[in-house]
Homo-oligomer: A and B are copies of this chain.
Amino acid sequence: MPPFGLLPMRAWASLFSQVLRPSGLVCVREVHFQSQGTRDLSPQQMVVREKILDMVVGCFKRHGAKRLDTPAFELKEMLTEKYGEDSGLIYDLKDQGGELLSLRYDLTVPFARYLAMYKVKKMKRYQVGKVWRRESPTIVQGRYREFCQCDFDIAGQFDPMIPDAECLKIMCEILSGLQLGDFLIKVNDRRILDGMLAVCGVPESKFHAICSSIDKLGKISWNDVRHEMVAKKGLAPEVADRIGDYVQCHGGVSLVEEMFQDSRLSQNKQALEGLGDLKLLFEYLTLFGIAEKISFDLSLARGLDYYTGVIYEAVLLQTPAQAEESFNVGSVAAGGRYDGLVGMFGPRGHKVPCVGLSIGVERIFAIVEQRMKTSGQKIRTTETQVFVATPQKNFLHERLKLISELWDAGIKAELLYKNNPKLLTQLHYCEQMGIPLVVIIGEQELKEGVIKLRSVASREEVAIKRENLVAEIQKTLSES
């Protein structure tokens, strides 16, 4: 849904290309094997990703969401006039005869298209999938053109702010669950924002431009933002100062109350509606025990065109130590209410209010990978439990019979694809791959009707009866 996710920084661009590549292998980039801005995900990266995605999806399921999948490409016309300035970043397919197609830019517009297409009136769904944006790698360093999004949305006409509060609860559960450190969720409302601009005296034609200036607060100082508004966007200085009074405000529910009393804002109908909803939202967030994680922030604008009500964005708060590493993380989750999007598809006026969120998993992957790198944690990329080895020549047949039994019993097992591997090579492979158990068969064992079961860590070996092999391994594995 939101325009983040493709924003890894230099720190993890290098991480991906060096640390998590198959060790010792260098990417020969100059041969141009691969499209700019895309990348393969190594087995190490896939392990990290799958763990994080399991956790995110687990939370979506805990909240009763159904999974949906939509195609990678949509009819081009379905994506037009949905993304404002960002439309230029949409990938089009070549016209090879037939329809004009585009790769999806997010998961929100396809979801809205689905609701319109099948005239669905209510649905709580999640979707995990890749999206594509034609960012220029030379302009925005380190951005990827293909990245993963995890979206949760609630579509339907409901009593106000209950689904919205649940979305914020989900963001809190996921960010807490992933143990990414302290975080804060900024909340605002498009109606408050518009009302604020109106009462400050911004002409409606400049709303969009001024919003995008406001959106820079946090990255640049108020003085710089003010300068941009006045010098570049032609705003009267006194109008800019009025805006400044507002957008530097952030706080909890007390700020909502304060704004209700504000002499200018309280004159604007739209703003009052937004404030009313925010007040109700804070009531629910308090019941959910997460109000202290939420900050009403009048500077939050969000880029996408389709938001109509509450908007939010989660940021990680850096500890001083992290700040020193200059590992800037920014927004890790975001979303908002978009009540008009579904109606844009329906020629027959099928309208469905929606609210949702998107988890910026690419950033989260980067943070977790960075943390693993720092801690020197080794990642197992296979789950193999048992290795089948022999110290003798001409034992391939016995090894194959044995491993087949293990596979059939559901035990994860490997052997070397060699007729006569050396025992040391086999044991070394186990250590290297983190395989905990080795089954050893040789002439002596064959004669005695036993096999040896060896613990790779302790190097202890026990002889067990051949016919008890599977049971003994299962017992050993369940105990460890």
Contact = CB atoms under 8 A, between A and B. Distances in A.
Contact of A94 (B50, B95, B287, B411): B95
A64 B158 contact: no
Given A22-B120, A158-B418, A400-B288, A40 B382 contact: no
Interface in A46-66: 46-47, 50, 61-66
A22 B118 contact: yes
Given A66-B43, A68-B41, A118-B25, A417 B61 contact: no
A117 interface: yes
Contact of A384 (B64, B400, B411, B418): B64
A117 B42 CA distance: 13
A430 to B, nearest CB: 11
A100 B136 CA distance: 15
Nearest to A382: B64
A347 B43 CA distance: 25
Instruction: Give the copy number.
Output: 2
Contacts of A345: 33
A346 to B, nearest CB: 9
A417 B158 contact: yes
A32 B77 CA distance: 10
Given A66-B43, A159-B417, A412 B61 contact: yes
Contacts of A114: 40
Interface in A106-151: 113-114, 116-120, 123, 125, 130, 132, 134, 146
25 contacts: A22-B120, A22-B123, A25-B120, A28-B118, A33-B116, A33-B345, A34-B71, A34-B78, A34-B113, A35-B73, A35-B101, A38-B73, A41-B69, A45-B69, A62-B413, A64-B413, A72-B146, A73-B146, A92-B93, A93-B103, A159-B419, A163-B417, A173-B407, A287-B397, A289-B408
B46 A67 contact: yes
A320 interface: no
A46 B125 CA distance: 12
Given A33-B117, A92-B94, A173-B407, 17 more contacts: A25-B118, A27-B118, A31-B347, A34-B74, A35-B101, A40-B114, A41-B69, A43-B67, A46-B69, A47-B67, A62-B407, A62-B411, A73-B146, A91-B93, A91-B96, A154-B417, A158-B417
A114 B35 CA distance: 12
A358 to B, nearest CB: 19
A424 interface: no
- Interface centre among A22, A94, A408, by most chain B C-beta atoms within 10 angstroms, is A94
Nearest to A404: B288
A442 to B, nearest CB: 17
A345 B414 CA distance: 30
A70 interface: yes
B33 A382 contact: no
Interface string A379-401: 00111100000000000110011
A222 interface: no
Nearest to A387: B64
A227 interface: no
A74 B404 contact: no
Given A34-B74, A400-B288, A68 B43 contact: yes
A352 B192 CA distance: 62
A244 interface: no
A62 B406 CA distance: 9
Contacts of A96: 91-92, 134
A21 interface: yes
A284 interface: yes
A67 B91 contact: no
